[in-house]
């Protein structure tokens, strides 16, 4: 994800199948980090309003959502299927509604696409490149202005294959909720309210049957995945935790603490005495207590944390800073900052070949409605 708040709020070919079917070498976990050079970075401007993406090992393809943009002149929304080596568009899958966040169930050949402003999720068959179904998760309600609207905006999508579920935090400043979709029946299973104002990040600890959801009021909620009931509430000391990643091996929770001045200023006006936390960092949390174990400085406005546990790497897109931070998770050391202007957003990893894919959104100086980019980095 990777920021729905931000919705509103290049490379030498490496490690892939060749035309004759031979395999290129595969990167080795725990190998010493080698600084990424310009020749390893490839970039392609593909479509307007690109958001999240996913790499499919079974299809050997990258899937990226294009919302088509906003306003009367916006183009159609679609999922682009890309060649993972060249970033060439192999197929365009038309979406019935505007798509933003995505999550892949590679074993089932399914890509779930969040229709953020439309209260639903569209299911795509990745083998046939066809839409299977659009699942409505909520009905419109009458707002304070008398207009009909959806009560929540869907943000990150998270798959729980063991329980056959898809989790989608629905954010609202009036109070957020978790929407739980059954992936076997493709129907809404339950809505869990009480997540606080502007719920954003989500992470799963499958072994201990718990789900973590962060909000932009300094809160962290724990949900039991067996009962779908809230079991704990924490205040971790980081008030803008946008996205989460869980390290099952080390039993640590990573959160990007944005530190956006605009959010802090609004809270200071609404809550006299509020003092913002530093931001522009990743906080490493003890999942049992939400105690901050470490604070890792990033570039400005960190968005998406992506964990590669076998290689002990954490990648973080810095939307405001126009960069990607690479950390060693064993030591917390910043290994490299890679420039990716203007606004790096979402991340996906081909873990076998050690190739990272990044969506990069346009900046203020780019032509309105112009194509945004996907970047491929051979690590």
Question: In whole angstroms, what is the distance from residue 86 CA to residue 88 CA?
Answer: 5
Judged against a pLDDT cut of 80, whether residue 8 lies above it is answered with no
Which sign, positive or negative, has the C-alpha torsion 307, 313, 314, 315? negative
Structure confidence by residue, pLDDT tens digits, 58-76: 999 999 999 998 887 889 9
Low-confidence winner among 18-22, 165-169, 170-174, 243-247 (lowest mean pLDDT): 18-22
CA dihedral 122, 135, 3, 44 (to 10 degrees): 0
Amino acid 10: pLDDT: 30
Amino acid 7: pLDDT: 37
Enter the tokens of residue 84.
Answer: 């993972």
How far, in Å, are 198, 234, 291, 297 from residue 259 at the CA level? 15, 19, 18, 11
CB 207 within 8 A of CB 194: no
Q: Within 13 A of 103's CA, how many CA atoms are on the CB side?
A: 19
Q: Any idea how long the chain is?
A: 379
Q: Averaged over 152-177, what is the pLDDT?
A: 97
CB 341 within 8 A of CB 43: no
CB 378 within 8 A of CB 12: yes
Q: Averaged over 198-217, what is the pLDDT?
A: 98
Residue 14 per-residue DSSP state = -
Low-confidence winner among 8-12, 149-153, 300-304, 322-326 (lowest mean pLDDT): 8-12
Question: In whole angstroms, what is the distance from residue 275 CA to residue 267 CA?
Answer: 9
Q: Averaged over 210-218, what is the pLDDT?
A: 97
Amino acid 26: pLDDT: 60
Enter the tokens of residue 265.
Answer: 């200023």
Q: Averaged over 99-116, what is the pLDDT?
A: 98
Structure confidence by residue, pLDDT tens digits, 321-330: 999 999 999 9
Judged against a pLDDT cut of 50, whether residue 102 lies above it is answered with yes
Q: What is the CA radius of gyration of the chain?
A: 20
Q: Within 13 A of 93's CA, how many CA atoms are on the CB side?
A: 25
Going by C-alpha positions, the residue among 53, 110, 26 that lies closest to residue 304 is: 53
Q: Where are the domains of the chain?
A: 40-236+342-378
SS3 of 117, please? Answer: helix
Residue 118 per-residue DSSP state = G
Residue of 217 and 5 predicted with greater confidence: 217
Output the DSSP codes for 41-96: EEEEEEESSEEEEEEETTTTEEEEEE---SSTT----EEEEE-TTT--EEEEEE-S
Judged against a pLDDT cut of 50, whether residue 40 lies above it is answered with yes
Question: In whole angstroms, what is the distance from residue 371 CA to residue 299 CA?
Answer: 24
Amino acid 27: pLDDT: 63
Q: Averaged over 348-363, what is the pLDDT?
A: 97
Stated as kind and residue range, the H or E segment containing 269 is helix 261-270
Going by C-alpha positions, the residue among 232, 130, 115 that lies closest to residue 181 is: 115
Question: In whole angstroms, what is the distance from residue 69 CA to residue 228 CA?
Answer: 35
Confirm or reject CATH 2.130.10.10 for domain 40-236+342-378, answering yes or no: yes
- pTM score, whole prediction: 0.93
Question: In whole angstroms, what is the distance from residue 79 CA to residue 93 CA?
Answer: 5
Neighbour count for residue 90 (Cβ, 10 Å):
14
For the chain, count helices (H), then strands (E): 1, 31
Average pLDDT, the chain: 92
SS3 of 184, please? Answer: coil
Enter the tokens of residue 362.
Answer: 């346009």
The CA-CA-CA angle for residues 68, 70, 72, to 5°, reads: 105
Amino acid 267: pLDDT: 92
Amino acid 17: pLDDT: 30
Residue 116 per-residue DSSP state = G
Stated as kind and residue range, the H or E segment containing 65 is strand 61-66
Judged against a pLDDT cut of 50, whether residue 14 lies above it is answered with no
Neighbour count for residue 74 (Cβ, 10 Å):
14
Enter the tokens of residue 87.
Answer: 């970033």
């Amino acid at each position: 994800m990777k920021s729905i708040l931000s919705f509103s709020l290049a490379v030498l070919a490496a490690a892939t199948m060749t035309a004759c079917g031979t395999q290129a070498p595969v990167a080795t976990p725990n190998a010493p980090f080698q600084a990424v050079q310009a020749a390893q970075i490839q970039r392609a401007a593909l479509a307007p309003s690109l958001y999240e993406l996913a790499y499919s090992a079974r299809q050997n393809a990258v899937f990226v959502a294009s919302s088509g943009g906003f306003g009367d002149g916006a183009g159609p929304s679609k999922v682009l299927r890309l060649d993972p080596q060249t970033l060439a568009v192999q197929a365009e899958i038309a979406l019935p509604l505007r798509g933003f966040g995505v999550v892949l169930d590679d074993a089932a050949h399914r890509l779930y696409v969040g229709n953020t402003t439309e209260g639903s999720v569209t299911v795509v068959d990745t083998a046939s490149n066809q839409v299977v179904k659009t699942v409505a998760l909520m009905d419109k309600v009458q707002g304070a202005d008398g207009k009909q609207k959806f009560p929540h905006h869907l943000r990150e999508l998270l798959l729980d294959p063991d329980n056959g579920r898809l989790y989608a935090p629905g954010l609202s400043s009036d109070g957020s909720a978790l929407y739980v979709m059954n992936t076997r029946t493709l129907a809404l299973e339950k809505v869990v309210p009480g997540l606080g104002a502007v719920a954003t990040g989500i992470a799963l600890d499958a072994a201990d049957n718990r789900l973590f959801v962060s909000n932009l009021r300094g809160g962290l909620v724990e949900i039991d995945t067996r009962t779908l009931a809230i079991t704990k509430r924490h205040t971790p000391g980081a008030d803008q935790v946008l996205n989460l990643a869980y390290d099952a091996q080390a039993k640590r929770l990573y959160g990007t603490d944005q530190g956006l001045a605009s959010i802090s200023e609004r809270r200071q006006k609404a809550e006299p005495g509020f003092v913002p936390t530093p931001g522009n960092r990743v906080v490493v949390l003890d999942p049992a207590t939400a105690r901050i174990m470490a604070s890792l400085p990033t570039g400005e406005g960190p968005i998406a944390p992506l964990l590669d546990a076998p290689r002990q790497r954490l990648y973080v897109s810095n939307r405001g800073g126009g960069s990607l931070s690479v950390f060693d998770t064993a030591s917390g050391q910043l290994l490299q900052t890679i420039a990716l202007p203007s606004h790096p957003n979402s991340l996906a990893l081909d873990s076998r070949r050690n190739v990272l894919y990044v969506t990069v959104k346009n900046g203020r100086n780019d032509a309105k409605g112009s194509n945004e980019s996907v970047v491929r980095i051979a690590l």
